[in-house]
Structure 1
Amino acid sequence: MPSLYTRFVSGALFPLHERLKHHNSVALRQQMERSQWLKPAELGALQLQRLNALLSEVGQHVPYYRELFAREGIAAGSFKSLSELQRLPFLTKAVIRANTEGIKSERAQGLARFNTGGSSGEPLIFFIGKQRVSHDVAAKWRATRWWDVDIGDPEMVVWGSPIELGAQDRIKAIRDKLLRTELLPAFEMSEAKLDSFVAAIRRKRPRMLFGYPSALSHIAKHARAKGQRMDDLGIKVAFVTSERLYDEQRALISEVFGCPVANGYGGRDAGFIAHQCPSGGMHLTAEDVIVELIDKDGRLVAPGEAGEIVVTHLATSDFPFIRYRTGDVAVMDTASCPCGRGLPMLKEIQGRSTDFVITLDGTVMHGLALIYILRDLPGLASFKVVQHSRERCEVLLVPEPAFDSSAPARIVAGFKKRLGEGVQVDVNLVDAIAPEKSGKFRYIISHAV
C-alpha cells in the first residue's frame, strides 16, 4: 500500500510538474496501462497506425525525409503492413551527423539538444521534442509501477553527475527532494565514497534503487566486505540500465539488498525500449517503438537468432529516429510471458558494456566520467580509451574533417583532472578502431589494478 505522500506525489505533484513542462505523460501512461494487455495482432495494428501517422508527418515537414521519399517514390503514410518499413534505409549516427539540420522538423519548437555515444564510442548530437519526452516518461513510469512502487516512493539513484552543478541542476535538486529521489554520483568509487554511499542508503531506507548495474554491484560488494547488512531496509526493487547486466551482478545486487533486480534497456537517442516485469519478461515498449533485428548485411534475422537492434521510435516527428541502428545486439523472445501482457519481449541483450577505471590514487571511477569528456567533441567519428596502468592512459580518436586540432590538449587536461595530474595521457589520431577478437566493441578498457 503506497504511503499518503506517495499518493500525493504520484496523483497530484508529479502530474502538475508534467503539465507545467507541457508534457502529456499522465494520459499516455494511462493509455499504456490499458494497451499493454492488447493481443499481438492488436498491438501490430496500433503500431502500423502510428507508423503511418509518423511517416506522413515527416514526409511533409522534415527536409531529409521529404527528399528521401520523393527520391525513392515512397507515398508517406500509405503502408499496408509493418514489413513495408524495410523499404526505408537505415538511419545511422554518421547519417545524423551529416544531416542534423535536415532531420529537424520545420514545425518543431523548443527542441532540447542532447548527446550520446558513451557505450557505442561514436559521439552523436541530436534533438528531442516534448512529444518524445512525454512518451519516454510515460513508458518508464508504467514499468516502475509493475513492481509495486511509484513516483514519490523514496528512491536512491546511483548515476553519473557533473562535477560542477549549474542553476538548472539546483532546480532539479529541489524537485528531486520533493519527489524523494536522492542522487549518489557514480563516477567516483573510493573507499570513503563507498562508505558514504552505504551510509546514505541505510539512512534513506529507499523503496527502490536505480543505477548502473556495475555501480550498484560495486556498492553491494563493498557493503558485504564490510559486513554491513543492506537487506533489512525494505527495498522493493533495484532498477538497472545503461549497461549490460551480467548474471553475477544480478545475483550480488539481489542478495545484498534483499530485492529483485529489474533490467531496463534503452538510450537517450533510441528511447525507452524495453523493461523487465516481475515475471521475468523483458517487454518492449511496443506502443512507441518498432524493433527489428538485422544481420551484418542488413537483413532481418530469423526468430531466436541474434541481430543488431534497429529502432523506429513512433513519437519522434520533431527529430525522427526511423530504422535507427543502435549498434547493440539482442535476441527476440518467441515465448509468452506469464504476466499476460501482450508486449513482445527481448530474450537476451548482448550489447552495452562500460568499464570502471582507476585513478592514480586508487579511486575507482566509472568509465563514463572519461567518456563525457569525449562524446560532445565536434568532428569526432569514434573513440576508444585504454587504461594501460594507473600511470598511463591511451586515447584513440578517429577524426572527421571538422575535428578541432586543439581538442587533444583539452582531452589531456580533462583526463588529468579526473585521473590525476601525474597520469600520462597519450592522444593518438587513427584511421579506424578495430573490434575485439570476439567481434564486440569495447570503448573503455582498463588494465589498471
Structure 2
Amino acid sequence: MAVPEENYTAFVEQKKREIVDFHLKNNKFYKNFIGEIDTFQWENIPVLKKSDFQIPLEKRLSIGYNKKTVYINSTSGSSGDPMVFAKDKFCHALIWANIMHRFAWHGVDFNHSYQARFYGMPLDFKSNKILRFKDFLSNRYRFNIFDLSASGIEKIITKFKQKKFTYINGYTSSIVLVAKHLKEKKLVLKNLCPSLKICIVTSEMLFEDDKRLLVETLGVPIINEYGASELDVIAFENQTGEWTVNAETLFVEILDENNKPLPLGKEGRIVVTNLYNKAHPFIRYDVGDYGVLDEKSTAKHPILKKLTGRTNDVAVLPSGKMAPGMTFYSITKKLFGDEGNVKEFTITQIQSDTFEIQYASEVALTTDEINRIEKVFTNFLEPNLKYIFTRKNLLQRNKNGKLKQFTSLVKNTP
C-alpha cells in the first residue's frame, strides 16, 4: 500500500472514524446498537458479537442498500451462531483483490493456476451442478469432502494423477485425512501430480504435527490462512513463515474480557473492524477466537504470533474449573497419535461431568487404551468424570463440510 509506515497509524484512524460515522448516519440497526454512547474514544465503542446479528438481514442493511445490490452469504455456524451477512460490491471486490494478492506471494495466479478445492458443497442435484459450473469458470476442481472413506480418498488420489493441479486449498481436517491415507500407502502426492506446487489450508486449526505430516505426504510447502467469511482474510502466512495480519482492509485488535486492548504479546479475544463494508456494519466485531499479536508488530505490518482457539470452546467442569477445549483436544490428539490407529475424532461435553469422544479408526480402541486415555484426562481435568468412546466409520461434518473438533453443550459458567 502506498501509505508509508510513519503515516499508517493516522491513516487507519481516519478509516476507522469514516466507517463508524457512515454507519451511525446510515444504519438504523447500528445506531440503535450504539445508543447514546460517545464514540469519539474508540475504546468506548461496544463490541459486536454474532448473536447481535440474529435479526433479519434487511433490518441490518444501511440506507441505499438492499438484497439485490449486495453480496450475501452466511457463516457456517461452527461457532454456535450461524449468521447471514452482506457486503457491498466494492468491499467484496476489494476482498478478492486482497486474497489474490496474498496467494500471489506463493506463486498462485487465479487466472491460470488450477486449484484442487477441499470445501463443502450442496449435495442436491441442481445446486451441485451450479456450483460445479462456477468452479469450472474459476479454474478449480472441488472434491467431495463428505466421503473421506478409504475408497473416497482413493478417488481423490486418482484425480490428482489425472489432472494438472497447481495448488490445494481447503479445510485443514479434510486435507489431513487425505495425508494420513497417503502415509499409509507410502505415497507422496507431488510424485503423483508433478504440477502441484503448494497447499493452503484454512478454516480449522493446523497443529504442528499435522503440518509436518502434510509436508511429508504432499511434498509441497504448507501455507496457513486464517480468515472469516463475513470479513476477509485476517492473517496469511508469508514467504518467511510469519502470519501477516491484513491491515489493508481490516483493523485487528486483541482485547481482554472487559473489551480493553491488550499489549502486544498478550493473549486475548480477536476483535476485527472491516474498514470498507458500508452495506453492513462489522465494527469491533468479536470473531470468536483467541490470539496473540507479535511484539514486533507495527500499524502497517501487524503479525499474528499465534491463534489459540475459539472463545466458546471451553469445558466447564463440576468443580468450576474451566479447561480450554482446544488444549483438551490437542492432548487427546497426541494420545491417539501414539496409537496410529485413530484417523480423526471429535469431543463433545454432553454434561459437566460427561464427555463423548467419537473417533474413526481401523479397529476399535482396546480397554487398555481407553483406560490409559481416561487416566491422562483425569490428570489434566479432574477425577470422577465419565467418558463415552464411540467408534464411527466416518465422522459427521456440518453442512459446509467442516469438522467441529470440540463442542461443549454446557453453558460457559461454573
Q: Tell me if TM exceeds 0.5.
A: yes
Match for residue 275 of structure 1 among 222, 236, 246: 236
Q: Distance in 1 between matches of 2:134 and 2:120?
A: 18
Per-residue Cα deviation, 1:119-154 (whole angstroms, up to 9, x for no partner): 312222333332332122111111110001211211
Q: Distance in 2 between matches of 1:264 and 1:106?
A: 33
Q: Distance in 1 between matches of 2:55 and 2:208?
A: 39
1:27-106 equivalences under 5 Å are 34-35=1-2, 39-67=4-32, 71-74=36-39, 84-98=41-55, 100-106=57-63
Please, which runs of 5 or more residues in structure 2 have no aligned partner? Answer: 311-325, 331-341, 347-354, 361-394, 397-407
Q: Distance in 1 between matches of 2:64 and 2:356?
A: 43
Q: Secondary structure at the match of 1:234?
A: coil
Q: Distance in 1 between matches of 2:126 and 2:295?
A: 47
Structure 2 letter corresponding to 1:90: V
Q: Secondary structure at the match of 2:151?
A: helix
Structure 1 letter corresponding to 2:302: P
Q: Secondary structure at the match of 1:197?
A: helix
Task: Indicate the larger mover: 124-133 or 57-66.
Answer: 124-133
Q: Is the CA contact (8 Å cut-off) linking 1:58 and 1:317 kept in structure 2?
A: yes
- Measure how far apart 1:307 and its partner are: 0.6
- Measure how far apart 1:117 and its partner are: 4.7
Q: Is the CA contact (8 Å cut-off) linking 2:187 and 2:217 kept in structure 1?
A: no
Q: Secondary structure at the match of 1:350?
A: strand
- CA distance 1:281–1:206, shift in 2 (3 Å): same
Structure 1 letter corresponding to 2:83: L
Q: Is the CA contact (8 Å cut-off) linking 1:154 and 1:180 kept in structure 2?
A: yes
Q: Is the CA contact (8 Å cut-off) linking 2:167 and 2:200 kept in structure 1?
A: yes
- Measure how far apart 1:156 and its partner are: 0.3
Structure 2 letter corresponding to 1:214: S
Structure 2 letter corresponding to 1:221: K
Q: Secondary structure at the match of 2:6?
A: helix
Match for residue 89 of structure 2 among 119, 130, 134: 130
Per-residue Cα deviation, 1:47-75 (whole angstroms, up to 9, x for no partner): 2222222122212110123345662244x
Amino-acid identity (%): 24
Q: Tell me what 2:172 maps to.
A: 213
Q: Secondary structure at the match of 1:201?
A: helix
1:180-259 equivalences under 5 Å are 180-232=139-191, 233-259=194-220
Question: TM-score, normalization: structure 2?
Answer: 0.71
Please, which runs of 5 or more residues in structure 1 have no aligned partner? Answer: 1-33, 356-362, 368-384, 391-417, 420-430, 438-449
Q: Secondary structure at the match of 1:310?
A: strand
- CA distance 1:296–1:154, shift in 2 (3 Å): same
Q: Is the CA contact (8 Å cut-off) linking 1:47 and 1:290 kept in structure 2?
A: yes
Q: Is the CA contact (8 Å cut-off) linking 2:9 and 2:300 kept in structure 1?
A: no
- Measure how far apart 1:366 and its partner are: 9.8
Q: Is the CA contact (8 Å cut-off) linking 1:240 and 1:261 kept in structure 2?
A: yes
Question: TM-score, normalization: structure 1?
Answer: 0.66
- Measure how far apart 1:173 and its partner are: 2.4
Match for residue 346 of structure 1 among 304, 310, 313: 304
- CA distance 1:236–1:389, shift in 2 (3 Å): closer
Instruction: Verify: 1:321 aligned to 2:282, yes or no.
Output: yes
Q: Distance in 2 between matches of 1:343 and 1:389?
A: 41
Q: Tell me what 2:135 maps to.
A: 176
Structure 2 letter corresponding to 1:283: T
Q: Distance in 1 between matches of 2:124 and 2:94?
A: 30
Q: Is the CA contact (8 Å cut-off) linking 2:43 and 2:260 kept in structure 1?
A: no
Q: Is the CA contact (8 Å cut-off) linking 1:293 and 1:330 kept in structure 2?
A: yes
- CA distance 1:275–1:55, shift in 2 (3 Å): same
Instruction: Verify: 1:306 aligned to 2:263, yes or no.
Output: no
- CA distance 1:364–1:284, shift in 2 (3 Å): same
Match for residue 335 of structure 1 among 276, 290, 296: 296
Q: Tell me what 1:290 maps to.
A: 251
Q: Tell me what 2:378 maps to.
A: none
Per-residue Cα deviation, 1:320-368 (whole angstroms, up to 9, x for no partner): 100111110000012369xxx952110101125799xxxxxxx98998x
- Measure how far apart 1:227 and its partner are: 2.4
Q: Is the CA contact (8 Å cut-off) linking 1:63 and 1:103 kept in structure 2?
A: yes
Q: Distance in 2 between matches of 1:188 and 1:115?
A: 23
Q: Tell me what 1:266 maps to.
A: 227
- CA distance 1:47–1:389, shift in 2 (3 Å): closer
- Name the Cα RMSD after superposition: 3.4
Instruction: Verify: 1:156 aligned to 2:116, yes or no.
Output: yes
Structure 1 letter corresponding to 2:114: P
- CA distance 1:67–1:435, shift in 2 (3 Å): closer
Q: Secondary structure at the match of 1:433?
A: coil
Q: Tell me what 1:17 maps to.
A: none
- CA distance 1:228–1:240, shift in 2 (3 Å): same
Structure 2 letter corresponding to 1:91: L
- CA distance 1:278–1:65, shift in 2 (3 Å): same
- State the aligned residue count: 333
Q: Distance in 1 between matches of 2:131 and 2:109?
A: 19
- CA distance 1:60–1:326, shift in 2 (3 Å): same
